[in-house]
Structure 1
Amino acid sequence: MTMTIKKCMLEDLRELQKISVETFTETFKDQNSSEHLNAYLERAYNLEQLEQELANRSSQFFFVYLNQEVAGYLKVNTNEAQSEAMGAGSLEVERIYVKKKFQKHGLGKQLLNKALEIAQEQKKKKIWLGVWEENENAIAFYQKKGFVQTGAHSFYMGDDEQVDLIMTRTLH
């Protein structure tokens, strides 16, 4: 199996939308009403919104490919693009998603390693992310990778307020 990571560009917009909707739906459809899920998908992953995010110099997206098929993606933010004011010394991992059929192949780990590499290149002091408090598999994965819970914030799925744990890893 061949795994590669490639930075997303504006011409990847529709592919980014497709994988964003697919992976988010796969991950959260069983725990949320379709009304709340669809409201979130329409707000977060419409083409105009994704185009703005792709154009933001403080955000970067990457696709991970397995055998030439897009298997997942990563979004990282710095500076004002971070969803919480964590300062210039921080890098946020806003999204790591892998299609269900490609999970358990180490792709999430590779995407997280890519985020760590970017943080180190940019001489960041810490890397952080928000993870839904009920996503036990993801929480366990991040803990195994050296992240600790440092706070929490609200995440809205439609108009349903949920809690994301803020997990942080200090870099050396």
Structure 2
Amino acid sequence: MTIKIKKCSLEDLQILQQLSMETFNDTFKDQNSPENMKAYLERAFNSKQLEKELSNISSEVFLICFNEELAGYLKVNINDAQSEKMGDESLEIERIYIRYKFQGKGLGKYLLNKVVEIAIRQNKKMIWLGVWEKNESAIVFYKKMGFIQTGAHSFYMGDEEQIDYIMTKTLI
């Protein structure tokens, strides 16, 4: 079993776009209308938007492979790239997704360890993320990984307002 993480670059844009749409759709399609899913996917993962995100010096995207096969990805933000103003000592996990066929293999934990490594290297004191209140399996996973709920914010899926819990992990 080999697990490799590589930084995503502009050359990986099409791979990232396909992976982003696949994993987001697989995760949320059963709990949202097709219209809202389509609107969100087109807005969040169009080529121009992903190119802008990959070009932002305050964001990093990583691809994870399991036995040479693309298994998921991670996007982290610092400074003004964070989706909420959490301060200069914080690092945001904006996206962390594992393709269905690779779930249960410890890859999410592997990516979270990568986040901690990045945060420590950048002298961050806190890691945070937003997770949909109805995504119970993710909430359980984050709690197991040492995150606690510290707030909430709105997330828009198409024209529907949803609530994301803000979960944080303080680094020692």
TM above 0.5: yes
Q: Any residues of structure 2 matched to 1:62-101 within 5 Å, and which?
A: 62-101=62-101
Q: Which residue of 1 aligns with 2:117?
A: 117
Residue type at the aligned position of 1:64:
I
Q: Which residue of 2 aligns with 1:35?
A: 35
Residue type at the aligned position of 1:167:
M
Provide runs of 4+ in structure 1 moved above 2 Å.
none
Q: Any residues of structure 2 matched to 1:8-157 within 5 Å, and which?
A: 8-157=8-157
Report the Cα offset of residue 69 of structure 1: 1.1
* 1:104-142 Cα deviation digits (max 9, x unpaired): 000011111111110010010100000000001000000
Q: How many residues align?
A: 172
Counterparts of 1:127 and 1:4, CA distance in 2: 22
Helix, strand or coil at the partner of 2:88 = coil
Q: Which residue of 1 aligns with 2:171?
A: 171
Report the Cα offset of residue 67 of structure 1: 1.1
Helix, strand or coil at the partner of 2:87 = coil
Percentage identity across aligned positions? 67
TM-score by length of 1: 0.99
Counterparts of 2:39 and 2:70, CA distance in 1: 25
Report the Cα offset of residue 56 of structure 1: 0.1
> Structure 1: where are the runs of 5+ without partners?
none
Q: CA RMSD in A?
A: 0.4
* 1:119-172 Cα deviation digits (max 9, x unpaired): 010010100000000001000000011110000000000011000000001111
Counterparts of 2:24 and 2:113, CA distance in 1: 21
Counterparts of 1:57 and 1:49, CA distance in 2: 15
